[in-house]
């Protein structure tokens, strides 16, 4: 679970221009960061079942065990500019601008192993509504197209691409420093409505 201090840090990272001085004893290879908020797309949520997975392993993901609001919602990346790199440290779907009252660890549906995290083996993660899987299965050339688009948008240490289907879209983006196992969180407002879905790519630690 996110501590209140770490949650505040995470939310600040989505503030465009937010400046952060890394503690000297923290052990990081960078000392100063300026954050950029990248609005990637408005994700189309048609079933209310959200998926977060490796960009090329969506077929094997059962989605998050929660019912999300329907509609189109801003999908954002918190990008840390270290001076030599641009790192995607957090991503989120913003369902509302209501203040976060509590946060729960997102759990996978029907998962026998690692139900509280997802693995990335391609260096790229993605957000999607589960309805998008049906359209994905019908397009044999989509994987090649995704790879080409991601390569075309690459800048040092990050890339992204939004695939627009006929009814749904899929947001692809670099997962932090690359491959790994990552956790996501569901944020609720004071009225117990889902207001954010946040993924942490493990660059910073909740201490």
Quick one: pLDDT at residue 57? 84
Q: Which tens digit of pLDDT belongs to each residue from 10-57?
A: 999 999 999 998 887 777 777 889 999 999 999 999 999 999 999 888
| pLDDT interval class at 207 (50, 70, 90) | low
Q: Where are the domains of the chain?
A: 4-200
**Cα gap 106→68, rounded to integer Å:** 12
Quick one: pLDDT at residue 29? 76
Quick one: pLDDT at residue 13? 96
**pLDDT exceeds cutoff 90 at 77:** yes
Bridge partners of 94, per DSSP, are 196
**Cα gap 15→35, rounded to integer Å:** 7
The predicted model scores a pTM of: 0.94
Return the SS3 of 25. helix
């Amino acid at each position: 679970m996110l501590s209140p201090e770490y949650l505040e840090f995470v939310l600040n990272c989505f503030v465009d221009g937010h400046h952060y001085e890394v503690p000297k004893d923290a052990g990081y290879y960078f000392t100063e960061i300026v954050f950029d908020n990248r609005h990637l797309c408005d994700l189309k949520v048609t079933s209310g079942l959200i998926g977060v997975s490796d960009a090329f392993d969506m077929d094997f993901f059962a989605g998050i065990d929660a019912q999300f609001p329907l509609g189109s919602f801003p999908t954002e990346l918190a990008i840390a500019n270290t001076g030599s790199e641009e790192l995607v440290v957090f991503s989120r779907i913003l369902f509302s601008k209501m203040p976060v009252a509590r946060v729960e660890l997102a759990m996978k549906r029907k998962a026998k192993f690692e139900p509280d995290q997802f693995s990335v083996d391609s260096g790229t993660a993605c957000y999607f509504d589960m309805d998008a899987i049906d359209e994905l299965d019908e397009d044999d050339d989509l994987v090649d197209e995704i790879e080409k688009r991601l390569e075309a948008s690459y800048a040092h240490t990050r890339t992204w691409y939004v695939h627009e289907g006929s009814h749904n879209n899929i947001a692809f983006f670099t997962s932090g420093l690359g491959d790994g196992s990552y956790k996501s969180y569901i944020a609720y407002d004071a009225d117990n409505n889902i207001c954010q879905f946040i993924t942490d790519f493990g660059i910073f630690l909740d201490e």
